[in-house]
Amino acid sequence: MQKFTVLKGVAAPLPLVNCDTDIIMPKQFLKTIKRAGLGKSAFFDMRYDDTGAERPEFVLNQEPYRHATIMVTGANFGCGSSREHAPWGILDFGVRCIIGTSFADIFFNNCAKNGMLLITLPQAQVDKLTAQAQTGKDFTVDLEKQTITTPDGAVTPFDIDATRRHNLLNGLDDIGLTLQHIDKIKAFEAKQKAEQPWLYA
């Protein structure tokens, strides 16, 4: 998993309330288990019309937001079904950080497991960040310092669970965490194989 330390990039204002995972990644794109290539399908019905042409009014079809690496969203973002394709699509689009007032639990955890940072802030702060995102200029998100710096120079601190912060900073997903104990795992397997060889027959 890619480490998350400091992210600088355009923040897209997407103040959708109760934006569910079917909006983020419609069901017709759930057939694949490949993570790459799903970015073009993220927010599909909002991005494209019935002919497949881009809807120019949608923020992610506009410059500079089509290159956004950060999103500022509305409340309860990622609600609905637990499809992991939703964070896969957002990540493949290029977004690694989402800021909002609240997120659905399963979506929140799925994002973290894929190296994405989700930041929860009070509504008043999110409103200010949304206004700054509308300038189309870069934000800087510093996970080590736990700060968001907006184009006007304002710095917004944020809280994050210490374990989640450690895992993101070090690029550790569930497999990576397990592999930190590979020597102990191998020692256990060797001991078990010697004492209970029938388990390995």
List domains and CATH numbers for the chain.
6-170 (3.20.19.10), 173-201 (no CATH)
pLDDT tens digit sequence for 24-50: 999 999 888 887 889 999 999 999 999
Say if residue 17's pLDDT is above 80. yes
Q: What is the CA radius of gyration of the chain?
A: 20
Pairing of strands 155-157, 70-73: unpaired
Say if residue 20's pLDDT is above 90. yes
| Percentage above 70 pLDDT, the chain | 98
Query: Is the bond preceding residue 64 a cis peptide, omega within 30 degrees?
Result: yes
Say if residue 177's pLDDT is above 70. no
Could you tell me how many residues make up the chain? 201
Instruction: Return the beta strands (E) in the chain as ranges.
Output: 6-14, 70-73, 97-100, 117-120, 138-142, 147-149, 155-157
3-class DSSP assignment, residue 73? strand
Burial bucket for residue 122 (CB in 10 Å: 0-12, 13-18, 19+): exposed
Report pTM.
0.88
Mean pLDDT over 155-182 rounds to: 87
CA-to-CA distance for 143 and 102, rounded, in angstroms? 19
What DSSP character marks residue 2?
A: -
Q: Residue 4: its pLDDT value, please?
A: 96
